[in-house]
Amino acid sequence: MLIRNQLNSTNIVIAIDGTSASGKSTNARLVAQALDFIYVNTGAMYRTLAWHGLQKNIDVHDPKAVATLCRRWKTTLECVEQTVRLLVDGYYPEKEIRTDAVSEAVPHVAAVAQVRRWMKEKQRECLRFGNLVMEGRDIGTNVFPETDFKFYLDASLAERAKRRAAEGVQENLAARDRRDSQRASAPLMIALGAVVIDNSNLTPEQTSAMILERVRAKLKPA
C-alpha cells in the first residue's frame, strides 16, 4: 500500500483516471480535502505545455517539434494551498490553459511519447510534497501502477456533454475520448484493479463518498 520510489517516499497516491467530463477534478478535489492530501491535476500539466507551445508558435501537430520544446522546457513544480502547479518561467497560466485553442492543441501534445515520459517523471516527483490525489488518464496504468488506490470514473456521453455545456464549453467529447484511448503511448484505459464508478446518476458528494469509503477501508489496520 505504501509507495517507495526513488525518493524513498512512503507517501500514498490515490489515482483517479477516467473519460473527459466524468467528474475527475471535482471528485479528486473533494477526496483530497477530506483526507488533507495534495491535489494534482495532470491534465493541467499537459495543457500548460500545450499553451507554452502555442506561445512559442510551435506546430503542435509535429511530434518532433513538440518533443524538442519539452526537452528544452525550464519549469518548476510548486505546491500552493495543497495543490501542485507547473510554472512556466515562474508563471502559472491558470486561465490561459482553459482556452479553446489549448483544448484543441493538448491531445496532440499529450500523444507524444517523449512528452509522456517527461510528464511521468514530473508527476512521480510530486510525491515529495506529501500524500497525493492525482487525476488524469494514465495515473493508475502508467504513472503510479504500484498504488493500491485506483479509481476509474465514467458517465454516459449525454450526461458528460450536459456537464460541459453547464460550464459553457461545447466540445466533441466522443472525439476527444477516442483520441485519448487510441493513442499509442499510455492510452486511456481502466487500470488493473481499479474501482470503476459510473457516476451518470450520482452527485459529486456521492461519488467522492464511494471513493473515500474504499480508501479508508484499505487504510484501516487489519
| Contacts to ligand DC from residues 150-189, by CB under 6 A | 176, 180
In the bound state with ligand DC, the residue whose beta carbon lies nearer, of 37 and 46, is: 46
Q: Which stretch binds ligand DC (CB under 6 A): 62-70, 79-87, 103-111, 192-200?
A: 103-111
Residue at grid coordinates 507547473: 86
Cβ pair 146, 27 in contact under 8 A: no
What is the contact mask toward ligand DC in residues 48 to 77, using x (rule: CB under 6 A)? ------------------------------
Q: Which stretch binds ligand DC (CB under 6 A): 2-10, 51-59, 133-141, 201-209?
A: 133-141
Cβ pair 15, 123 in contact under 8 A: no
How many amino acids of this chain bind ligand DC (CB under 6 A)? 13
Query: How long is the chain?
Result: 222
**Is 138 an interacting residue with respect to ligand DC (CB under 6 A)?**
yes
| Contacts to ligand DC from residues 20-49, by CB under 6 A | 20, 42-43, 46-47
Q: Which stretch binds ligand DC (CB under 6 A): 1-9, 69-77, 106-114, 200-208?
A: 106-114
In the bound state with ligand DC, the residue whose beta carbon lies nearer, of 100 and 213, is: 100
C-alpha–C-alpha distance, residues 81 and 132, integer Å:
13
Cβ pair 127, 9 in contact under 8 A: yes
In the bound state with ligand DC, the residue whose beta carbon lies nearer, of 129 and 144, is: 144
- Closest by CA to 204, choosing from 31, 11, 6, 8, is 31
Q: Amino acid identity of 167? A: E
C-alpha–C-alpha distance, residues 24 and 41, integer Å:
9
Strand partners, 18: 153
Q: Can you tell me whether residue 121 is helix, strand or coil?
A: helix
In the bound state with ligand DC, the residue whose beta carbon lies nearer, of 12 and 60, is: 60
Cβ pair 86, 48 in contact under 8 A: yes
Residues in the site for ligand DC, rule: CB under 6 A? Answer: 20, 42-43, 46-47, 106-107, 110, 136-138, 176, 180
